[in-house]
Each structure stands twice: as C-alpha cells, then as structure tokens.
C-alpha cells in the first residue's frame, strides 16, 4: 500500500516547469547577447572601445589564475557586507522610531529627503578626508547608501500596518514593543526585504565608488587601474565579476524572502 502520492502535486509541478522555463530563457538571452557582441566586435564596433566577450573571458581567467580577482572581490565584499549590515540595521531601527510617531515622521521627512537627495558618490571625498583611505570610508559610504533605501521602505511598510489590530492591542494594555512585535514588524517585513534587495546593489556602488577615488585594493581599484592602462577588457571584466556577485547575493536574498513568506 502506498504511503502517499509518488508524484508532486500539479500546482507544484507547474511551478517547477515555469521556473525551468525562466532559467532557460535567461540562458538563451545571455547566449544571444554575448554572441551578438562577439560577432559585432571588430566588423561593426571598435574592440578598443567595447572589447569582446572572448577578451573579457581571457582577462577573467588570467586574474583568477593569479588570485587577483579573488583578492579584490573579497576586499569589496567585506566592505559592502559590513556596510550593508550596519546600514540595514540602523535603517530598520530608525524606521521604527520615526514611523511610530506621525508627528516625528512629518517633522524629519523633509530633512531625510534632502539628505537622501545628495548623490552618495559626492560624499566619498568627505568620508575619505574623515576616515582616511582604509576600509572605513568604503564601509561608511556603503552603509549610507543602504540606510536610506531600507529606512524609507520600512517606514512605508509600517504605515501599512492594520490600525484596527494596533488599536485593539493598545486597548488590551499592550506596550509599544508588543505592538511592534505582534503587528507592525510582521506587516513591515515584506517592505523590509524590498529595501534590502534595493539597497544591496547600492551598497556595492558606494564601496566601489570610494575604492575608485582612494584605494589600493578592491574591484573599484581594479577597474580604475585597468582604465588607467586603457585596458577595456579589464574594465569590463571587473564590472562583470561585480555584477555576478551582486546578482548571486540578490538571488540569495530573494530565496530567503521566499522561504520566510512561504505561507503567503
């Protein structure tokens, strides 16, 4: 006698088929794009300006064999990961402090918007002056880049909390912490993840921008060094490596979000 169904439910099987189709179309698009680029480089486009996938691949292989790519990627990853954790943590904390009071939120909103409107790259020279040319300015710039995106996204999630449930808990004598834990935080969590997924690429942007201005290690340094030697393939190779890492980490965040909100 069978213990249960031997095949997955039709809904699950359909979801797997859709997922396989998505990855197939992604791979097909990538192959078509790289193939077109490779064929156009030379006959239609000057390789000096656009390089070619084969030249970029050769540069990546050379850097990987020498260990340069792993070293510089690890430096940028450490800076971004540290800045991401600090920026996200302070962004979520500040959002709950600000979002819990309508008066406070309306008071600080124009000031937060004004600071957020300043290009983060423009802050890099200031942070380098304050913290030197070590890891600190890259971490701070990455944290600032992440902070505002997580902050605004989380505040938006807090505003969507069910006011009837909040009022009911308060009538029953629940404190602010209990209200946040039982209602506000679960309601804002999807928005928090949206902010995290938006902030992750910007964290890399902040770290790399600071590296390009003053650093002797990291993807930003590798990019700037290749550009200084007019090595177009090297510039594209550094950017490609950064894109792969960012996409992989973003995919990891998406999977974590899916696991947490599986009940939805």
Written as tens digits, the pLDDT of the chain (264 aa) is 444 444 455 655 555 566 677 778 888 999 999 999 999 988 888 888 888 899 999 999 999 999 999 999 999 999 999 999 999 999 999 988 888 777 888 888 888 888 888 887 788 888 888 888 788 889 999 999 999 999 999 888 887 766 666 667 667 766 666 666 667 777 778 888 888 888 888 899 888 888 888 888 889 889 999 988 888 999 999 999 988 888 888 888 888 877 877 755
CA 34, chain centre distance (Å): 24
Domain match, 158 and 225 both: yes
Beta bridge partners of 45: 41
Q: What distance in Å separates the CA atoms of residue 27 and residue 21, rounded to the nearest whole number? A: 10
Is residue 200 within 8 Å of 150, Cβ to Cβ? no
Is residue 140 within 8 Å of 83, Cβ to Cβ? yes
Domain match, 35 and 94 both: no
CA 231, chain centre distance (Å): 27
Residues 6+ apart with CB under 8 A from 131: 137, 140
Is residue 79 within 8 Å of 218, Cβ to Cβ? yes
Closest CA to 163 of 178, 185, 183, 193: 183
pLDDT of residue 78: 92
Is residue 159 within 8 Å of 99, Cβ to Cβ? yes
Number of structural domains in the chain: 2
pLDDT of residue 192: 87
Domain match, 70 and 182 both: yes
Is residue 257 within 8 Å of 198, Cβ to Cβ? no
Residue 1 domain flag: no
Coil, helix or strand at residue 42:
coil
Residue 229 neighbours by CB distance under 10 Å: 9
Domain match, 26 and 109 both: no
Domain match, 103 and 203 both: yes
Residue 45 domain flag: no
Using CA atoms, how far residue 260 sits from 11, 129, 151, 245, in Å, is 20, 41, 21, 23
What percent helix, strand, coil does the chain show, rounded to 5?
85, 0, 15
Residue 154 domain flag: yes
Q: What is the CA radius of gyration of the chain?
A: 23
> How many C-alpha atoms does 252 have within 13 Å on its Cβ side?
7
Domain match, 92 and 119 both: yes
Domain match, 238 and 124 both: yes
Residue 151 domain flag: yes
Residue 186 domain flag: yes
The pTM for the full model equals 0.79
Domain match, 79 and 27 both: no
Domain match, 28 and 94 both: no
What interhelical angle do 53-66 and 10-40 show, nearest 10?
Answer: 100
Segments forming the whole domain that contains residue 142: 50-260
Residue 29 domain flag: yes
Domain match, 12 and 139 both: no
Residue 187 neighbours by CB distance under 10 Å: 18
Beta bridge partners of 128: none
Closest CA to 234 of 66, 80, 79: 66
Domain match, 87 and 203 both: yes
Domain match, 94 and 148 both: yes
CATH number of the domain where residue 165 is located: 1.10.3720.10
Residue 232 domain flag: yes
Beta bridge partners of 41: 45
Is residue 184 within 8 Å of 161, Cβ to Cβ? yes
Residue 2 domain flag: no
């Amino acid at each position: 006698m069978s213990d249960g169904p031997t095949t997955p439910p039709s809904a699950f099987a359909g979801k797997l088929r859709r997922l396989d189709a998505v990855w197939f179309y992604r791979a097909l698009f990538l192959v078509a794009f790289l193939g077109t680029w490779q064929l156009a480089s030379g006959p239609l486009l000057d390789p000096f300006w656009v390089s070619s996938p084969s030249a970029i691949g050769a540069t990546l292989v050379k850097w990987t064999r020498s260990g340069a790519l792993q070293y510089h990627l690890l430096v940028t990853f450490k800076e971004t990961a540290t800045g991401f954790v600090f920026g996200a943590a302070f962004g979520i904390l500040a959002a709950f402090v600000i979002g819990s009071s309508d008066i406070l939120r309306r008071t600080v909103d124009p000031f937060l918007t004004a600071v957020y409107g300043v290009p983060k790259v423009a802050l890099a020279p200031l942070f380098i002056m304050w913290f030197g040319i070590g890891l600190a300015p890259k971490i701070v710039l990455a944290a600032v880049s992440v902070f505002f995106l997580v902050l605004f996204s989380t505040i938006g999630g807090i505003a969507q909390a069910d006011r009837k449930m909040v009022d009911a808990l308060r009538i029953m004598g629940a404190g602010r912490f209990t209200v946040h834990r039982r209602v506000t935080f679960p309601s804002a969590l999807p928005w928090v993840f949206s902010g995290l997924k938006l902030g992750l690429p910007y964290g890399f942007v902040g770290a790399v921008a600071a590296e390009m201005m003053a650093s002797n290690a990291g993807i930003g340094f590798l990019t700037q060094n290749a550009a200084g030697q007019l090595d177009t393939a090297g510039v594209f190779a550094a950017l490609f490596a950064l894109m792969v890492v960012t996409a992989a980490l973003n995919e990891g965040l998406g999977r974590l979000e899916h696991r947490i909100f599986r009940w939805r």
